[in-house]
Structure 1
């Protein structure tokens, strides 16, 4: 735990990641990486940003990671700026303002790479989430000589093989997920609403420092089931004897989650 009371990866671990990112820039002939992140499902769409900066924003954010020189982080909301400055490992952390990313573009100008080759790292290459259309339109108009290259998939590949430190965080996420399922077994009784059960399950990991990643809880009668899968939004429906409780639970330790998909039968009366 650091002096600011947030868990931290070691300097060696962060340097390892930065070296991998610069290796990607070397192999692709890039002058900089431009990363975009959004809140997504409990900030999961900030994973790339977090991997380099140790900060996950609740709104949109940009990170300029140049081949040479210091990185710059631009957060979406001004009232998040102070916390971002504490958590991020980079010293240049600013409010990115609203609308088009003008302040971020100003920094590209300051780095003299507005006519260079810039690698774009979006949210998830599987779904082709790059950066907002309006922002890309603005950047292309402002920097007509820039060569933009989507390297989201190649950047994702850098993150696939986890380090020993990351595996320890995943283990903690798995422990927190197990606590959640233990609470489910304790409180899942006929008469409790799904929404209350979900809240009691969430309390099990929150008091231990965990974060909610996926928290799906749905009950359905075993004699006449209406769904084969847990729903994303728990209801006010009360559990009944003879139900099967369907769950998909991922509690996370600062973005590193375990996961469990478990059915739990409630004995018929």
Structure 2
């Protein structure tokens, strides 16, 4: 499907970001930023701060001197070839050819720092600090970083990940338009899955329908999380994606749980999805009521001036009051994925986990962070009675006074197409 109204980013947005970065460097007392980006195939929650500077293919290392323009160190010749072709087609490229480098090895980093006269400068580094949830201790490879440190004993490198992350979390109007577009793509992906799911259909067909809808709407979504079963308690990419086995075939009474990640222009939306197939267990509907109450409690608190910790606590009130158990966190930030809600040690509370290592409770990460307009969050409240698990939610943005709810479609149970039993039980 060809999209006719696709939001883009202007050169004014580029200038806004670069000016923000220069002001940030002045406040932090650093002469440059050294920004590491993960590989373009890093999947959901990728560390892609490099694209904030480049509006280009993920996977660069960016060095930005306070008095100049960003320099992008690219992984290889393919990236340069893409830049050449995009320029030939008349696309407005944010990084000029003279500010590109053909490698992002430690040697190239060292050469660029020396060429910029930063050998003894204070340099803020994005990549050393926590990047939740996959990289709580940073993403920079040891070999690269040890070489850089040994080459510049008089430089002052220090992590600025958290403060820089909060800087970019407040999305501009152009960026909000990107997230809205991604959220619409996410809804369309889920609708395709709902239309496909039925008893006798293999999991991979449901997965393929969702991903195809993302591609068809001009997005390249990362790997989707999806599991199914009568009493399934699991999350992540389906097991047939990494283990040599056949995909599971759906049965009457199954529940499909999925996390759908849609992206556009380097900005991400996220849908939390529970699809019922036929006559599911009554505890599924009970769990959905708890999850929905948590979702609505979050909407009430997502206001400028409140804190992330207050948001997390509000969403946990219905969860803590029920007599089942939460599976995962209820909320985290998007664009970037920086702040994370508190979590209970699921193997301390979940059923049938004897013999497995305990997973400790963890507090809210960045609880004191103030909510400001333009911040985006994934609302993903989840709850289970026994082994009957429900996840609901989607992308929500802090508005000037009211929250901007982008995915109300997935903030409810979704009966598979033609499933009259589930529609009747849900009271729709």
| TM-score normalised per structure 1 | 0.87
Residues 189 and 123 (structure 1), Cα distance of their counterparts in 2 relative to 1, 3 Å cut: farther
Q: Do residues 136 (structure 1) and 145 (structure 2) align?
A: yes
Write the distance in 2 (CA, Å) between the matches of 1:46 and 1:11.
23
Q: Do residues 47 (structure 1) and 48 (structure 2) align?
A: yes
Q: Do residues 218 (structure 1) and 227 (structure 2) align?
A: yes
Q: Secondary structure at the match of 1:238?
A: coil
On the 8 A contact 1:218/1:245 being kept in 2, the answer is yes
Q: Secondary structure at the match of 2:180?
A: helix
Q: CA deviation at 1:124?
A: 6.1
Q: Which of 239, 261, 265 in structure 1 is aligned with 2:272?
A: 261
Q: CA deviation at 1:262?
A: 2.0
Higher mean displacement: 10-19 or 74-83: 74-83
Equivalent position of 1:102 in the other structure: 107
Aligned length: 256
Equivalent position of 1:20 in the other structure: 20
Residues 130 and 115 (structure 1), Cα distance of their counterparts in 2 relative to 1, 3 Å cut: farther
Write the distance in 2 (CA, Å) between the matches of 1:185 and 1:144.
58
Higher mean displacement: 256-265 or 144-153: 256-265
Q: Which of 156, 159, 180 in structure 2 is aligned with 1:147?
A: 156
Q: CA deviation at 1:69?
A: 2.0
On the 8 A contact 1:75/1:84 being kept in 2, the answer is no
Equivalent position of 1:244 in the other structure: 255
Q: CA deviation at 1:143?
A: 1.1
On the 8 A contact 2:128/2:159 being kept in 1, the answer is no
Q: CA deviation at 1:30?
A: 1.1
Write the distance in 1 (CA, Å) between the matches of 2:101 and 2:8.
21
Mapping of 1:75-90 within 5 angstroms?
75-84=74-83, 86=86, 88-90=93-95
Equivalent position of 1:113 in the other structure: 118
Equivalent position of 2:291 in the other structure: none
Equivalent position of 2:176 in the other structure: 167
Q: Do residues 176 (structure 1) and 198 (structure 2) align?
A: no
Equivalent position of 1:93 in the other structure: 100
Q: Secondary structure at the match of 1:258?
A: strand
Q: Do residues 63 (structure 1) and 62 (structure 2) align?
A: yes
Equivalent position of 1:3 in the other structure: none
Write the distance in 2 (CA, Å) between the matches of 1:161 and 1:44.
17
Per-residue deviation, residues 46-95 of structure 1 (Å, max 9, x unmatched): 431111111233xx431111111232111113323222454851111122
On the 8 A contact 2:25/2:66 being kept in 1, the answer is yes
Equivalent position of 2:237 in the other structure: 232
Write the distance in 2 (CA, Å) between the matches of 1:184 and 1:218.
13
More strand by share: 1
Equivalent position of 2:389 in the other structure: none
Write the distance in 2 (CA, Å) between the matches of 1:216 and 1:109.
44
Equivalent position of 1:188 in the other structure: 197
On the 8 A contact 1:248/1:260 being kept in 2, the answer is yes
Write the distance in 2 (CA, Å) between the matches of 1:153 and 1:132.
19
On the 8 A contact 1:217/1:234 being kept in 2, the answer is no
Write the distance in 2 (CA, Å) between the matches of 1:266 and 1:212.
25
